[in-house]
Amino acid sequence: MLHFYAFTNVQSFLERTEVSLRLTEKASARGWVQTAPSGLRISTAIAALGANGAGKTSLLKPLAFLIWFVRGSFTGLKPEQPIPVFAHFGKKDVPSEFEAEGEDSDGVVWRYVVRMTAKQVLHEALYRKKERFSYVFVRDWDEATRTYVIKQQDFGFNPTEASKVRPNASLIATAAQYGIEVAKHLTEQTLCTNVDSSGRHSLDHNALFGAADFFAQDAELKEQMKDLLSSWDMGLKDIKLREIDVKPKVGAPPDAESKVWYPWGIHTSRNGETHEVPFFQESTGTQAAFVLLSELLPALANGGIALIDEFENDLHPLMIEPILSLFDNPNTNPHGAQIILSCHSAEVLNLLHKAQIYLVEKDECESRAWRLDTMQGVRSDDNFSAKYLSGAYGAIPRVGVEARRREP
């Protein structure tokens, strides 16, 4: 389970920003909390709210990037490619920093730290906690020799091979390719997300194809998806998946035609007749729920992280609670999966504890985020939604007369 992640000089966030899922013993959460194997109380849901352009997506991107970098930088980047990390435009020449802490199913706590530019990794370190944190490896760039100085302690990576690590790749991702057990263990983390360094993935035919293909390969999760969509009053009796032919693009060879999976909604009319409707004719909300479940159910099944930008996009506000409750119910979340989401719907505020809510605001091109329980005077029994919409907490749009009044 993830304890926290933090970052400095990443996109619109210039100062160090931490997103913590840890709860104190005194925090009387309304739900969405599990006791981790280490004994810590950890949230299984975090929601971030703020005005358009405040930096909510940028609050999620660092975690998506960090997990990708640890898992996929060796295979995902060619040796000459830059690292897809984007510093604040006011500090482009200053390295970006990332940190994350979490624990595995055995209760072993790990901490990972990396500092980099788009050109290269400058510092990378992995720590494991026993009585206290001790390093597993530390990697530092030596500008004088233009090589990496690497210290290891129970990592098991051949020093000769380790010294060949590319400037744009994680040592963990590299070691995993050599079969190093610690590295393989750390790269098995499940991340399901609709956001990457370029932003939120759009809801289009490709998203439907991808979701349909996923469910076609997993019969158990397909049945769970069908049960959930049928129970959410979307007019669906069933969902069927079929392979369809996709014509080649203009200029492609004639034999480039391929097959993809595509969903059909099954509807039953009043007279008992059954009708099949291709999903592009279904409502945008139904399509969004279908794609969203392809991102949530794998995390729930494996105990991973779901990182979802604009969680309620195209969904009715009343759909937020039943979907979010999947992460609160031990029957649907037996392995401690966690969801970190951004949204605009204030309804989510009254579902969560103040320690599970982050507010995001941007001022003079710099974003900042804070946890609601760090604000003085916020009570656990407050109507968070009403107070947020009234402007009591900040992080709301400044529009019209109010925006002009607050201009310098």
Tens digit of pLDDT for each residue in 177-220? 999 999 999 999 889 999 987 788 888 889 999 999 999 999 99
At residue 404, does pLDDT exceed 50?
A: no
pLDDT of residue 27: 77
Q: Which of 11-25, 156-170, 307-321 has the lowest mean pLDDT?
A: 307-321
> Please, which pLDDT band fits residue 24 given cuts at 50, 70 and 90?
confident
Q: What is the number of alpha carbons within 13 Å of residue 133 lying toward its C-beta?
A: 14
* Region 45-69 average pLDDT: 97
Please state, rounded to an integer, the average pLDDT across all residues of the chain.
93
pLDDT of residue 103: 96
Q: Which of 238-247, 347-356, 371-380 has the lowest mean pLDDT?
A: 238-247
How far from 240 is each of 130, 134, 290, 292, CA to CA, in Å?
Answer: 50, 52, 12, 17
At residue 296, does pLDDT exceed 60?
A: yes
Q: What is the pLDDT of residues 72-97, one digit of tens each?
A: 999 999 999 999 999 999 999 999 99
Q: What are phi and psi of 176, to 5 degrees?
A: -60, -35
Choose among 331, 392, 398, 325: nearest CA to 362. 398
> Please, which pLDDT band fits residue 401 given cuts at 50, 70 and 90?
very low
State pTM to two decimals. 0.92
Burial string for 149-182 (b: 16+ CB within 10 Å, else e) reads ebebeebbbeeeebeebbbbbbbbbbbbeeebeb
Each domain of the chain, given as residue ranges in start order, spans: 1-190+305-408, 203-302
At residue 125, does pLDDT exceed 50?
A: yes
Give the right CATH number for 1-190+305-408 from 3.40.50, 1.20.120, 1.25.40, 3.30.750: 3.40.50
* Region 29-46 average pLDDT: 93
